[in-house]
């Protein structure tokens, strides 16, 4: 289990036992994300551990049948710990020629292709730039091929319901799901319940989809004797006892922010502007009014953060969220929050950049932007989540630091974490220590100083509306203590030092070693969503006897106090990142360690094999 039982996972004998990778690929209108999502749910209910990777185009409805319109959903599930969505699929479901062409190269040798031959007509073959039909010309010989006319089989199955051609074909994905459920010995009942609930207002559609699902399942049963199709049961994965659900990163962030606000005893104000892949956080929070959450879809990214700062000024927990390009627009306002020392949480769901870049693909290339990307000496804490479940914890941590230190905090996730789902052990909220905010409500002994400091160097938080504590704040340099405008050289030096000391002094937990030992030949240091592939790769290499450890940094700024010493205790340090070496540079700068980069900037997550290769290279 990617986060919940990381400790358990290491104890297991064979990390590879009985894990299967399935990729559903089709046209972006074929409903592959829905199919994948429901198959994920069925994996969860079967007790498997899993990780998923939705991979879809930026266009909502890309032209049908084209190579760039292919939408895919990969799931890795198994009876042991699963940390990644899997390197290469064992099974590829290809709903058209374009889906086959773009996805088959990554299929494992000997893997199974299930193709809808009904879609392999001349027109679609031409769109996918196939000269000949790959289902017929022997070019797929190194894989097992099962060609079915899924389109026709679906049409036959839903015939009794009198749907039009187009609507009938829309049930193809449920037929495919039915077949997949049979292949992995899954219970159909929860899916049938889900379909009935989803189409409650259109009973015909519900019945047709259920019929398609059942037909796909029945096909598996009857076809088993002949072709390459075999039923395969994957046992439940051992997991810590408790109640589980599936969680995406966007849900993790949203729920964590609500939990953080509750622990701080504050109402939450969320100012957002639609942007991929961050919008899901706004969507989740906008339904949670009863949790004292106000959401505001602003006119632009700048207004989104400024409204959040305005709300923080008014005594709410201000939160804003975006992805790289939007974060760039928010930079000036972050500086104001630093200058006026108001709490704020900024969530950055990173995507491929620069500029518009790759909106639906994942990357970790905003680390410099998070740590350094503002004018002036503008220090700001940065936290990075490693998984959907960890996003929940990190969001709470971000809120805690923001309100206790009166500072904006950036929480980094990425497109992969935001969209991917994992099983999540529902935490017991009573186990979290509350950190209720105390507003200043009357003149303290010694007089009121708007820029006076507590032992953490935090200034008091005063809500407008409070009698006796009237004051003015703004972005012009503040005078020490009084907060009046002051341009004096010594004062600017003093205030710059205070702002830096405050952030440097934030108490963050000591860095732990995720896997392996303190000290040794090699540390693989990661951050964010590379946790999965690094963890699996280090585990495999250690099983082979290699002296390698995994260190995963959550607190990007300020860094844990022991991190420098820890890194220096290894002969070598490599830093795999989905960028050109940003954490590597920060580590070198902070600790003068010879951190070596391992980079991948393709919009796709690392595979385990890639990290293993990097470890082998480093240990040569």
Contacting residues for 244 by C-beta, under 8 A, at least 6 apart: 4, 44, 423, 424, 425, 426
- Shortest distance, CB of residue 197 to other proteins, whole angstroms? 11
φ and ψ of 39, to 5 deg: -65, -35
- Shortest distance, CB of residue 249 to other proteins, whole angstroms? 15
Q: Read out DSSP for 522-549?
A: EEEEEEGGGHHHHHHHHHHHHHTT--EE
In angstroms, the Cα distances linking 328 to 98, 194, 333, 353 are 36, 41, 10, 11
In angstroms, the Cα distances linking 549 to 10, 81, 586, 619 are 12, 18, 20, 12
In angstroms, the Cα distances linking 3 to 19, 59, 544, 563 are 17, 32, 23, 22
- Shortest distance, CB of residue 258 to other proteins, whole angstroms? 6
**What per-residue string of b and e applies to 295-323 under the rule 16 or more CB within 10 Å gives b?**
bbebeebbbbbbbbbbbbbebbbbbbbbb
- Shortest distance, CB of residue 583 to other proteins, whole angstroms? 30
Choice between 288 and 440, CB closer to other proteins:
288
- Shortest distance, CB of residue 11 to other proteins, whole angstroms? 15
Choice between 220 and 483, CB closer to other proteins:
483
Structure tokens at 166: 């187009």
Measured CA to CA, the distance from residue 583 to residue 590 in angstroms comes to 10
Contacting residues for 340 by C-beta, under 8 A, at least 6 apart: 309, 313, 473, 474, 475
- Shortest distance, CB of residue 316 to other proteins, whole angstroms? 4
Choice between 34 and 601, CB closer to other proteins:
34
Helix (H) or strand (E) holding 191: helix 189-198
Measured CA to CA, the distance from residue 334 to residue 434 in angstroms comes to 26
Choice between 429 and 561, CB closer to other proteins:
429
Choice between 308 and 385, CB closer to other proteins:
308
- Shortest distance, CB of residue 360 to other proteins, whole angstroms? 24
Choice between 43 and 154, CB closer to other proteins:
43
- Shortest distance, CB of residue 471 to other proteins, whole angstroms? 7
- Shortest distance, CB of residue 421 to other proteins, whole angstroms? 11
In angstroms, the Cα distances linking 192 to 156, 205, 578 are 19, 12, 39
First to last CA, the chain: 31
Choice between 232 and 245, CB closer to other proteins:
245
In angstroms, the Cα distances linking 239 to 47, 127, 186, 513, 516 are 9, 46, 19, 22, 21
Choice between 136 and 300, CB closer to other proteins:
300
Choice between 481 and 616, CB closer to other proteins:
481
């Amino acid at each position: 289990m990617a986060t919940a039982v990381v400790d358990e996972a290491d104890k297991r004998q064979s990390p590879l036992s009985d894990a299967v990778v399935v990729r559903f690929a089709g046209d972006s209108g074929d409903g592959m994300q829905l199919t994948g999502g429901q198959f994920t749910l069925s994996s969860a209910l079967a007790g498997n551990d899993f990780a998923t990777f939705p991979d879809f185009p930026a266009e909502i409805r890309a032209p049908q049948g084209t190579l760039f319109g292919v939408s895919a959903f990969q799931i890795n599930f198994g009876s042991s710990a699963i940390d990644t969505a899997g390197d290469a699929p064992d099974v590829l479901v290809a709903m058209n020629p374009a889906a086959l062409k773009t996805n088959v190269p990554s299929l494992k040798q000997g893997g199974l292709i299930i193709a809808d031959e009904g879609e392999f007509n001349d027109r679609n073959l031409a769109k996918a730039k196939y000269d000949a039909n790959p289902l017929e010309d022997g070019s797929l010989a190194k894989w097992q091929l099962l060609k079915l006319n899924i389109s026709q089989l679906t049409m036959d199955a839903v015939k009794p319901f009198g749907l039009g051609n187009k609507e009938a074909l829309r049930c193809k994905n449920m037929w495919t799901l039915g077949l997949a459920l049979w292949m992995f010995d899954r219970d159909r009942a929860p899916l049938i319940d889900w379909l009935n609930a989803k189409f409650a207002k259109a009973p015909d559609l519900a019945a047709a989809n259920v019929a398609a699902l059942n037909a796909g399942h029945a096909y598996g049963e009857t076809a088993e004797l002949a072709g390459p199709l075999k039923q395969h049961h994957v046992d439940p994965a051992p997991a810590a006892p408790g109640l589980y659900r599936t969680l995406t990163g966007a849900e993790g962030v949203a729920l964590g922010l609500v939990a953080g606000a509750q622990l701080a005893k504050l109402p939450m104000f969320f100012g957002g502007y639609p942007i991929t892949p961050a919008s899901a956080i706004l969507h989740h929070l906008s339904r949670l009014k009863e949790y004292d959450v106000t959401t505001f879809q602003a006119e632009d990214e700048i207004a989104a953060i400024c409204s959040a700062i305005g709300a923080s000024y008014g005594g709410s927990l201000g939160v804003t969220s975006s992805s790289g390009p939007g974060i760039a627009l928010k930079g000036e306002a972050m500086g104001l929050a630093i200058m006026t020392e108001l709490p704020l949480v900024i969530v950055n769901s990173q995507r491929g950049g620069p500029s518009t870049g790759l909106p639906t693909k994942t990357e970790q290339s905003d680390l410099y932007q998070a740590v350094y990307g503002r004018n002036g000496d503008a220090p700001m804490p940065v936290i990075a989540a490693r998984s959907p479940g960890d996003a929940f914890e990190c969001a709470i941590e971000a809120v805690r630091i923001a309100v206790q230190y009166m500072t904006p905090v950036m929480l980094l996730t990425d497109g992969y974490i935001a969209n991917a789902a994992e099983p999540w052990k529902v935490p017991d909220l009573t186990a979290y220590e509350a950190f209720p905010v105390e507003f200043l409500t009357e003149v303290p002994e010694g007089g009121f100083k708007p820029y006076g400091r507590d032992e953490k160097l935090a200034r008091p938080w005063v809500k407008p509306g409070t009698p006796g504590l009237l004051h003015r704040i703004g972005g012009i340099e503040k005078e020490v203590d009084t907060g009046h405008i002051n341009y004096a050289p010594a004062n600017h030096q003093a205030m710059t030092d205070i702002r830096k000391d405050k952030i440097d002094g934030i108490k963050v937990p000591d860095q732990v070693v995720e896997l392996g030992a303190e000290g040794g030949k090699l540390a693989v240091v990661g951050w964010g969503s590379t946790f999965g592939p690094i963890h699996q790769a280090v585990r495999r290499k250690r099983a082979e006897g290699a002296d390698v450890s995994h260190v995963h940094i959550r607190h990007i700024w300020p860094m844990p106090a022991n991190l420098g010493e820890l890194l220096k205790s290894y002969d070598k340090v490599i830093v795999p990142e989905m960028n050109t070496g940003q954490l590597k540079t920060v580590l070198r700068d902070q600790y003068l360690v010879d951190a070596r980069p391992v980079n991948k900037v393709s919009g796709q997550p690392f595979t385990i094999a890639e990290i293993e290769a990097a470890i082998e290279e480093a240990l040569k």
